[in-house]
């Protein structure tokens, strides 16, 4: 990576560690509050442990954004090292983390920090972060990295299906939950991130049909576009995710395919059993 540009995302992306290490990414954690315990997402609690606990929990956790203090401390450290900073946090429509970063930047009163509202989450955000990190590694300036992030946004999409809308409904994280709640008892909803918020695309009778439908939706969105990158990410269903990834790889032959988890903080809002596919179709060049 360019020694001048520091790329800061957050734990909601849940990028595999090898990418974080390879590109020198900075990943402050959102927090998971469970009873008297506070866990840093992906640091104090990993996905596997979290979904095991969630499956038997009688009390559900709450979540909290990255704080202004955490961002300010990180920014001060990076600025002292003569770095410029691009912050790519979880969508402002899903978390106040973006606002924390904006406030920290204002308190430092510097033009060496740019904070974008990515309007993305999980591996949809991950693909944007990786694209920018690769541009920075190739020597792109801060201004050029911002342009890359903005162009990448138009190439990225994500669909997911949940076992139940209960978690999203309880957390107020879905705009169309009320419309679906009355019919969702025996249906599998299909959802997407649209303009930074969770929206319902439709519903089908079984999980198998939900996976089929997500594949069809991605094929429609990516038709005629290349190269194709995909990520299957899941909430506690590793074998199903591996099978789905293999199926999509066979169908699409993507240039990059990443299997990962839904982060604990995001998982607390979507619930166990969630399976998702993010894609990036096309290049920013």
Percent of the chain with pLDDT over 70: 93
Chain mean pLDDT for the chain: 91
Burial class (CB in 10 A: 0-12, 13-18, 19+), 80: exposed
- Kindly state the tokens that stand for 86: 């691009």
pLDDT tens digits, residue range 151-172?
999 999 999 999 877 777 665 5
The pTM (predicted TM-score) of the whole model is: 0.93
The domain locations on the chain are 5-153, 156-281
Residue 260, pLDDT above cutoff 50: yes
Taking the domain 156-281, which CATH number applies? 3.30.1180.10
Taking the domain 5-153, which CATH number applies? 3.40.50.10170
pLDDT tens digits, residue range 197-211?
888 898 898 999 999
Band the pLDDT of 15: cuts 50, 70, 90: very high
Q: How far is 243 from 235, CA to CA, in rounded Å?
A: 14
């Amino acid at each position: 990576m360019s020694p001048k540009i520091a790329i800061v995302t957050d734990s909601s992306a849940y990028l595999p560690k090898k990418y974080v290490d390879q590109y020198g990414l900075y990943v402050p954690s959102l927090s998971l509050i469970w009873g008297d315990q506070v866990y840093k997402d992906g640091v104090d609690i990993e996905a596997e442990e979290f979904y095991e606990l969630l499956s038997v929990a009688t009390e559900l956790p709450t979540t909290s954004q990255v704080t202004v203090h955490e961002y300010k401390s990180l920014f001060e450290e990076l600025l002292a090292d003569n770095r410029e900073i691009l912050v790519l946090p979880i969508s402002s429509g899903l978390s106040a983390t973006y606002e924390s970063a904006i406030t920290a930047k204002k308190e430092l009163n510097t033009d060496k920090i740019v904070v974008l509202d990515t309007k993305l989450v999980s591996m949809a955000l991950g693909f944007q972060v990786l694209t920018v990190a690769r541009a920075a590694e190739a020597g792109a300036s801060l201004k050029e990295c911002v342009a890359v992030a903005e162009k990448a946004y138009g190439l990225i999409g994500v669909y997911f299906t949940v076992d139940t809308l209960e978690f999203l409904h309880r957390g107020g994280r879905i705009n169309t939950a009320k419309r679906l709640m009355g019919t969702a008892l025996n249906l599998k909803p299909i959802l997407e991130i649209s303009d930074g918020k969770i929206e319902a695309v439709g519903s089908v009778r079984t999980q198998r049909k939900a996976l089929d439908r997500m594949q069809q939706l991605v094929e429609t969105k990516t038709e005629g576009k290349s190269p194709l990158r995909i990520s299957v990410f899941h909430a506690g269903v590793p074998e199903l995710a591996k099978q789905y990834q293999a199926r999509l790889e066979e169908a699409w032959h993507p240039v990059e395919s990443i299997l990962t988890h839904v982060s604990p903080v995001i998982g607390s809002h979507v619930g166990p059993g969630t399976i998702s596919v993010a894609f990036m179709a096309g290049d920013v060049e």
